A and B are shown apart, each in its own frame.
Chain A
């Protein structure tokens, strides 16, 4: 390719990529900026921006109206405990699936694949009945234990661990390493990139999950951030007495902004690990 054609191609690529970038960020940026505008202005001029009227009113009102702070605390508790469980137990089981022969391996892994295809909503009724029987409705264990070892995590980690050469594990055995030692000191360090990718994905899934939490933890004390948010959303359809469309919209955008920001910031800080993790641990072309 000659230089002028290359310049044209490069301008074309940047125009295309730039347009996609604007479309990707626009809704998020719009929501965060609008959250600082007075509700009546958001409704009358959705695209306007009057710097002199910017206000924290929407944030103040939404923090008064719904237990958003408690929601953050609950989400954080679930995030840490469930995330730790997933990141420990999934690679451990995946290691057994990838590197050992044992009775029931095929059947068990088949069951994992079936649950991958089963819509999660299917399990909600029996799970809820189970929680009622255990007396776990509106408890942390109900939010943490079901789904703590996700089928996708097992599936993905098995793929990654299968690529580790067996000689490496045998070498560790000859050096006197126990079976768990092999997992902790050979396998885990080797799969670190994919593990980091799984980590970011797990954090995201837990933080963003709302169907199960809405069903099992709807009390004010136990509601996670997403539950609080979706309860607020139902107000926009007008069930709430005395609240007009503009006020609710303002509150909604403020709550949405508060809910988005922590994750977006965490993600931007960790995105290198996430992208490298996916690149390290996905199917080869």
Chain B
């Protein structure tokens, strides 16, 4: 960001009379309240209130109608002992493994290649990589369903040309997760590339020249220089994607409905299932457990980052 230098050469104007100064001072003290007021009104009505409502709900057995019984920590202990809860976390953890490491490496390689100002077609590449990011998920998820259809899909068609057998991409427990992971990687990598580029642009060229004189190769420079230097940006992107993967709902909703055999019932999708079965109290408790998990994971990232400082 470019900032105009503050002008301070002009002689200071005569100090305003005390009364006017007091008024200005008062205005300055009141201003922030006025500025946050519209935000607070909307935030309190449509974020804080529903959040507290959900919190209260999580201690009841309410099913959407009738009177609610207070059940204390009942929903929480039920979930912690239920298979569905742990398997949804397991599914999300598996998706995380399939998505985040692959995507980080891929995005870093792309960003490093694009960071070269002399690269031809740089703008074309950058726009193309962001096209998946701006396409509506509902549209793309449907394209995925059609492309990966076992009998009529283009992907199996390509495989058969190479002589490989059909794969039940969305119908087998082995392949449903990788197929969803692929959709997620395809859709969001372009955005991660832009975020990493923002970290790369602030790096000091002379460090690289020094490393080259010392005979460091491309990979060595990438691993020993670039990665440590942009680790804050990498961690930011990592936290963002971890949140997104554990909250993932729309992808399984449109593509697999959580199946086959719950293999794509992610932590986020399980919330929807509780809601859909009118198990509102359990759903509310589940969402707060998920918040705890997500917070712990974010803290872990921040820790990893600090320990290297």
Contacts and interface: CB of A to CB of B under 8 A. Distances in A.
B35 A93 contact: yes
12 contacts: A20-B110, A24-B190, A95-B35, A119-B249, A121-B272, A130-B46, A149-B39, A183-B35, A208-B138, A256-B136, A268-B127, A284-B232
Interface string B27-49: 11101111110111011011111
Given A24-B131, A229-B136, A260-B139, A127 B50 contact: yes
Taking each of B33, B45, B47, which has the highest tally of chain A beta carbons within 10 Å of its own beta carbon?
A: B47
Nearest to B132: A24
A278 B158 CA distance: 37
A27 B125 contact: no
Interface residues of A, number: 111
Which label, helix, strand, loop or mixed, suits the secondary structure of the A interface? helix
B7 A171 contact: yes
Nearest to A129: B53
A21 B40 CA distance: 43
B79 to A, nearest CB: 14
B49 A89 contact: no
A9 B217 CA distance: 12
B302 interface: no
A248 to B, nearest CB: 10
Contacts of B291: 114, 117-119
A230 B254 contact: yes
Contacts of B146: 31, 42, 46, 249, 252-253
Contacts of B140: 27-28, 256, 260
Contacts of A183: 35
Contact of B145 (A146, A236, A255, A267): A236
B143 A180 contact: no
B131 A267 contact: yes
A253 B6 contact: no
Given A179-B31, A282-B233, A17 B113 contact: yes
Nearest to B119: A13
A92 B39 contact: yes
Contacts of B145: 233, 236
A49 to B, nearest CB: 12
A280 B195 CA distance: 10
Contacts of A116: 243
Contacts, number: 304
A27 B147 contact: yes
Interface residues of B, number: 109
B275 interface: yes
A118 B287 contact: yes
A108 B197 contact: no
B300 interface: no
A226 B131 contact: no
A164 B2 CA distance: 10
Interface stretch (B93-101, B173-181, B199-207): B199-207
A82 B126 CA distance: 28
B295 interface: yes
B32 A96 contact: yes
A106 interface: no
Interface string A86-100: 000110110111001
A147 interface: yes
A229 B139 contact: yes
B290 interface: yes
A285 B229 contact: yes
A23 B42 contact: no
B291 to A, nearest CB: 6
A31 B201 contact: no
Interface in A7-66: 9-10, 13-14, 16-17, 20-21, 23-25, 27-28, 30-31, 42-47
Contact of A46 (B47, B57, B152, B201): B152
